[in-house]
Amino acid sequence: MPYPIIPIFDQRLPKVMQSHGQPSNPPTDLLQDLLGRALRELRISVTDRCNFRCRYCMPRETFHTEHAFLGPSQLLSFDEITQLAAALTSLGVEKIRLTGGEPLLRKNLETLIASLGDLRTIHGKPLDLALTTNGSALRHQARALRAAGLRRITVSLDAMDEAVFQRMSDAASSSARQVLQGIDAAVQAGFEQIKVNMVVQRGVNDDQILPMARHFRRMPISLRFIEYMDVGGSLGWHMAHVVPSTEVLECLRNEFELEPLAPQSPSETAQRWRHAQGGGEIGLISSVTQAFCGECTRARLSPEGQLYLCLFAHQGHDLRQLLRSGRNHDEITAAIQAIWSGRADRYSQLRGQDSLTQRLPKVEMHYIGG
Ligand code: SAM
Ligand code: SF4
Ligand code: SF4
């Protein structure tokens, strides 16, 4: 992949490890980055491939048939992913979300779900494991995913209207109907939590806000409206294309009576609302207009084992190299500890300023997984 990678053993390992090769056990509960943020959440992207070409993520002009995706030997194996997840949980990670590309394209994903399900947090609790999918294959896979132990799932859907769906997803082989069938299958399979993510783009699908809210209102589902972000390098993003969450809320309140809900945790990214007359929840994710970098406790692992500290980072830290050169759990944990301790990322807070961070090329969304 074209993304720059930091060679960890040249620069990043604590001195004790570079000189003796064997680190002392790192303290677990105290790890913080330079801005005092703990490491609590991990996104794992299991593939950079996708069967959609959403205009806001993988525009076909860039990600065409000649685009070189990662080959099998470049991808982390399930065993390697589990080893890294174990190291990260020993440093405080409590929540893991599987993503992609399209994660359901990765064969036998249930095997990975089952082995991640065996991990424990530093407090001895089971990990909170979730998955984000475009939903195109969910109607066939929902039961097997649930049976493997997955309890929470998020399905991305940007429109009820088929023409608008096609305009957003550029996925002729799929349809809004198929995704809706996938969501129904997830409800049938007994997932404990189902969320639907809708990215709102001005003039493209903002007329779908109310139809989506009407449809999901009567279902046990949290519908979340996400501000369109300037991820990757191929979008031609402009602030004028963003529909601020305040505007989405105003639109919803013209039709529905909504009541605010208290945050469930300090790092919660969505402001939540509920229908006063009962029914599903509404979430507003204001990633652009109200940056939440101050509470960002999330690391991201790419399909080939690069650890990223921000959705807008321009470089990753090569953990696959550590794994494949035979480093043990303690050494890998110490390396990650050193990486997180040096983190100062806060891209969204700096958005619009002419800083170096803003000008460097950014990692692509389909590679890092959102
Ligand atoms: N393919 C899966 C899916 O679409 O759900 C998982 C990967 S996708 C990168 C994860 C999430 O990122 C999706 O909910 C998608 O809508 C969101 N996303 C992608 N590009 C975005 C953008 N430019 N702004 C905001 N959200 C975006
Ligand atoms: Fe694929 Fe998800 Fe990106 Fe759409 S948002 S192109 S479904 S990875
Ligand atoms: Fe976290 Fe980076 Fe997003 Fe800020 S911009 S919330 S640091 S991922």
Render pLDDT for 224-253 as a digit per residue (tens, 0 to 9): 999 999 888 777 888 999 999 999 999 999
Is residue 263 within 8 Å of 248, Cβ to Cβ?
A: no
**pTM of the predicted structure, to 2 decimals:** 0.92
Q: What average pLDDT does this structure show over 108-131?
A: 96
Q: What average pLDDT does this structure show over 130-154?
A: 98
Total domains present in the chain: 1
Q: How far is CA 315 from the centre of its chain?
A: 17
Is the shortest distance between the CB of 280 and ligand 1 below 6 Å? no
Ligand 2 centroid to residue 60 C-alpha, Å = 11
Residue whose C-alpha is closest to residue 99's, from 150, 55, 48, 146? 48
**Neighbouring C-beta atoms of residue 96, cutoff 10 Å:** 23
In CATH, what number is assigned to the domain containing residue 296?
A: 3.20.20.70
d(CA 105, CA 176): 18
Q: Which ligand 3 atom sits nearest the alpha carbon of residue 313?
A: 2
d(CA 82, CA 59): 31
Q: Which domain holds residue 281?
A: 5-368
Q: Identify the bridge partners of residue 282 per DSSP, sorted by sequence position.
A: 223, 273
Residue whose C-alpha is closest to residue 197's, from 159, 145, 143, 235? 159
Q: What is the pLDDT of residues 134-144, one digit of tens each?
A: 999 999 999 99
Please report the pLDDT score of residue 265 as a whole number.
84
| For the CA of 103, the nearest ligand | 1
Please report the pLDDT score of residue 29 as a whole number.
56
Ligand 3 pocket (Cβ < 6 Å) reads 291-293, 296, 310-312, 345-348
d(CA 369, CA 311): 9
| For the CA of 138, the nearest ligand | 1
The answer for residues whose C-beta is within 8 angstroms of residue 324's C-beta and 6 or more apart is none
Ligand 1 centroid to residue 252 C-alpha, Å = 22
For residue 58, the 8-state DSSP code is S
Q: Which ligand 1 atom sits nearest the alpha carbon of residue 50?
A: 1
Amino acid, res. 263:
P
Q: Identify the bridge partners of residue 95 per DSSP, sorted by sequence position.
A: 41, 128
Q: Candidates 269, 292, 348: which one to mutate for ligand 3, based on the most atoms within 8 Å of Cβ?
A: 348
- Look at residue 23 and tell me whether its pLDDT is greater than 90: no
Residue identifier of the C-alpha nearest atom 20 of ligand 1: 57
Q: Which ligand 3 atom sits nearest the alpha carbon of residue 298?
A: 1
Ligand 3 centroid to residue 296 C-alpha, Å = 6
The answer for residues whose C-beta is within 8 angstroms of residue 257's C-beta and 6 or more apart is 275, 276, 277
